[in-house]
Amino acid sequence: MGSIEFLETVIKKICFKEGFGAVLAEGALRASKICGKESQEITNKFLRQTGGAGECPKFLIPLSLVCATEPRPFLAEWHEFYEPLIKWVKWYVSKGEESYVSTEVLRKMAVKFWGGEKAVDFSTYEGKALAVVKIQNRQMAKESLILCDFACWPVFDDASTKDHVGDPTLASQLLSAVTGREID
């Protein structure tokens, strides 16, 4: 278990729906129902800790990378990616009436916060690893400062600026102000 050979075998069984792989191919919720009550309890506990099936790592490439590399529940990292996307979706669906986070603003955010426009190009894997590293590093710093996702950290967008893009250096500015040391 845990070897390359084991992982290849499991992945192939899931992909080709062979044996127990057919059960796993159903996804966490359906597989847990097939496996029984204890499996359902474990799955439900996991989904409560990670925000539920709606925040599925299969949904977006960066979320898959976060899921694969985080040793603990990873909601903060997902929030950093979802919050701007939700505002963009509102802009897209409402034709700009319910949000100012347009495609152009989202791309500018991606450059400033995640390392490049490719971070929000969902047709490619390119740019996703860099984005995830930046997200994870910022989240560790944010949590060390005891800043909250729901209090808008980091500040991705700003209605009062001309380009509506936030400032990724605000947390380091706050830390510098508190400690008296210049923090990059």
pLDDT at residue 13 greater than cutoff 60: yes
Token look-up 């490439």 returns: 61
**Sequence-ordered strand ranges (E) for the chain:** none
For residue 163, the model assigns a pLDDT of: 93
* % of the chain beyond a pLDDT of 90: 25
In the numeric block, which tokens belong to residue 134?
């930046």
Residue boundaries of the structural domains of the chain: 4-50, 61-179
For residue 103, the model assigns a pLDDT of: 95
The SS3 call for residue 157 is strand
In the numeric block, which tokens belong to residue 151?
């209090």
Average pLDDT value for residue range 21-33: 87
* pLDDT tens digits along 49-93: 655 555 556 556 677 777 777 776 667 777 788 788 888 989 998
For residue 106, the model assigns a pLDDT of: 95
* % of the chain beyond a pLDDT of 70: 87
Phi and psi for 162 in degrees, rounded to 5? -60, -40
- Most confident residue range from 3-7, 30-34, 114-118, 133-137: 114-118
For residue 20, the model assigns a pLDDT of: 93
What gap in Å lies between CA 135 and CA 76, rounded to an integer? Answer: 9
Our CA dihedral for 144, 148, 153, 159, rounded to 10 degrees, sits at -160
pLDDT at residue 130 greater than cutoff 70: yes
pTM summary value: 0.65
Token look-up 């603003």 returns: 105
- Residue of 126, 129, 151 whose CA lies nearest to 76: 151
- Residue of 159, 161, 84 whose CA lies nearest to 120: 84
- Residue of 23, 82, 29 whose CA lies nearest to 53: 29
In the numeric block, which tokens belong to residue 168?
């990724």
Confidence of residue 155 (pLDDT cuts 50, 70, 90): confident
Our CA dihedral for 66, 69, 72, 75, rounded to 10 degrees, sits at 0
pLDDT at residue 154 greater than cutoff 80: no
Average pLDDT value for residue range 133-156: 80
Is the distance from CB of 154 to CB of 168 less than 8 angstroms?
Answer: yes
